[in-house]
Amino acid sequence: MSTYRKAARNKFNALLGRTGFQLVRPGERDAVRSFIPFRETLDGARKAGLSVGDYIDSKYHVPGTTQATVDQMAGFGVFQGKIDSICEIGPGSGRYLDIVQKMCAPHSYEIYETDPEWSNWLARTYHVIAREADGTSLRDTASGSMELVHAHKVFVYLPFVVTFQYFKEMVRVVRPGGQIVFDVVSDRCMNDETIEKWIACRTYSRCVIPRDLLISYFGQRGCALHASFLAPNLPGQSEYLIFVKDGT
């Protein structure tokens, strides 16, 4: 796609953003979604006297979930060493970005956000590098260049094949010794009570991925599971997995 066409599409999507729709290419159709409206969220946070992250936690999740998740990551040593290059997939409102950036103060922080309004706002607010997001890849990030690649509440919704396209890309761009952190709805998150909640809430958009498959997939690509933990993902939970790429 030419630079002119990209710019035109982004501008048109910015206008469409409030409607919840986006203009996408055929290959992106199933991967691109926008769950949290841009202007409505900023206005709601301002009126509530809350940060954007705290406002979203209180409205869509369990209050304090974002900070608690990052604290869990820290407890498992994710931020133990100096992290100078970070890539985040689907940062949305930037509620995880805000905390992680303050903790790490990286030289480079790249984001892939499909919603142009959020993407542009994050680039202005946090001075991050907003890459063009095609909804399936990290094509503008060099192989082996990132010390931390992470995503939050993204793969719980995306279709199975799209999720694994991103997994393949995460392995590609992380450097040896680097870390990959994300959450999914694994079979560990599921039980009869959760299934009944999903049925009652008509939770049709979630994608369940077998935990053993994840560990095997990353293991075959030189990434070992370092730790995992559960986090709220209403009406249930998601599982965070922390992988470390073989340093050799």
Q: Average pLDDT of 110-137? A: 96
Query: How many domains does the structure of the chain reveal?
Result: 1
Q: Say yes or no to pLDDT of 66 above 50.
A: yes
Mean pLDDT of the chain: 87
Q: Tell me if 224 sits within 8 A of 244, measured CB to CB.
A: yes
Per the listing, tokens 């009126």 go with 47
Task: Give me the amino acid identity at 229.
Answer: F
Strands 85-89 and 223-232: unpaired
Q: Tokens for 209? A: 């991925």
Q: For residue 16, what is the domain's CATH number?
A: 3.40.50.150
Structure tokens at 172: 């590609």
Collapse the DSSP code of 116 into the 3-class scheme (helix H, G, I; strand E, B; otherwise coil) and give the result. Answer: helix
* pLDDT band, very low/low/confident/very high, at 8 (cuts 50, 70, 90): low
Q: What is the pLDDT of residue 24?
A: 46
The per-residue pLDDT for 14 is: 43
75 pLDDT higher than 50: yes
Return the number of other C-beta atoms located less than 10 Å from residue 220's C-beta: 9
One-letter amino acid of 98: D
195 three-state secondary structure: helix
pLDDT of the residue at 248: 63
Nearest CA to 128 among 181, 92, 79? Answer: 92
Cα angle: 228, vertex 155, 73; to 5 degrees: 30
Given a cut of 50, is residue 52 above it in pLDDT?
Answer: yes
pLDDT at 34 over 50: no
Q: How confident is the model at residue 22 (pLDDT cuts 50, 70, 90)?
A: very low
The larger pLDDT score, comparing residue 37 to residue 21, is at: 37
| Residue 18 confidence (pLDDT) | 38
Structural domain boundaries enclosing 191: 3-245
pLDDT digits (tens, 9 = 90+) for 77-105: 999 999 999 999 999 999 999 999 999 99
Encoded amino acid at 22, one letter:
Q
β-pair partners for 230 = 239
Q: At what angle do helices 52-60 and 95-104 cross, to 10 degrees?
A: 130
Share of residues in the chain with pLDDT > 90 (%): 69
Q: Which residues of 115-130 are buried (b: 16+ CB within 10 A; e: fewer)?
A: bbbbbebbbeebebeb
| Model confidence at 243: pLDDT above 80 | yes
Are 128 and 106 in contact by the 8 Å Cβ rule? The answer is no
Q: DSSP letter for 71, please.
A: H
- For the entire predicted model, the pTM comes to 0.84
CB 238 within 8 A of CB 209: no
Q: Work out the average pLDDT over 192-203.
A: 92
pLDDT at 139 over 70: yes
